[in-house]
Structure 1
């Protein structure tokens, strides 16, 4: 069960993970993606996208981005404020 202060973004199967992360964080932060720092400053975007493309699937990747804790799983992206 997720934390109560956690936002869960259901990832589209064809959607690159990096796009899902940006959509999830902009939703939580209530801002435009232009107002956020470049995602590449927090994680290697190309590698992140490749980790969730079959057959190379990992279970979880976690990193900090724009003041949020981001957890990427195969079906969803979880975003919560850093504690």
Structure 2
């Protein structure tokens, strides 16, 4: 897999689980089909991720500041209630 971009900011849709949004964002950065990625569960619990962030429509206003960062493959992934930002581990 070769990287086509060094980072992407990906907005989740109302009907998409946050775990799927992460997978879609990373596959966009790499430029591959999501099925080619390492399983997300090897890096973070997808059910816990979905549970924390829920669907965008179910998140209360006081939860706007939820923020999570983790490593996935060779990328750093930042998740908020509004978006997923994927950076190459080389970037700072």
Q: So what's the TM-score if we normalise by structure 2?
A: 0.77
What are structure 1's unaligned runs of at least 5 residues?
A: none
Q: TM-score, normalised by structure 1?
A: 0.85
Residue 70 (str. 1) matches residue 70 (str. 2): no
Match status 1:23 vs 2:30: no
The number of residue pairs the alignment matches comes to 79
Gapped regions of structure 2 (runs ≥ 5): 1-5
Instruction: Give the structure with the larger helix fraction.
Output: 2
Corresponding residue SS for 1:77: strand
CA RMSD of aligned residues (A): 1.7
Structure of greater Rg: 2
Q: Which runs of 4+ in 1 moved over 4 A?
A: none
d(CA) in 2 for partners of 1:35, 1:14 = 23
Task: Judging by fraction of residues, say which structure has more strand.
Answer: 1
User: Matched residues in 1 for 2:41 and 2:20: separation?
Assistant: 12
User: Is 1:51 matched up with 2:58?
Assistant: no
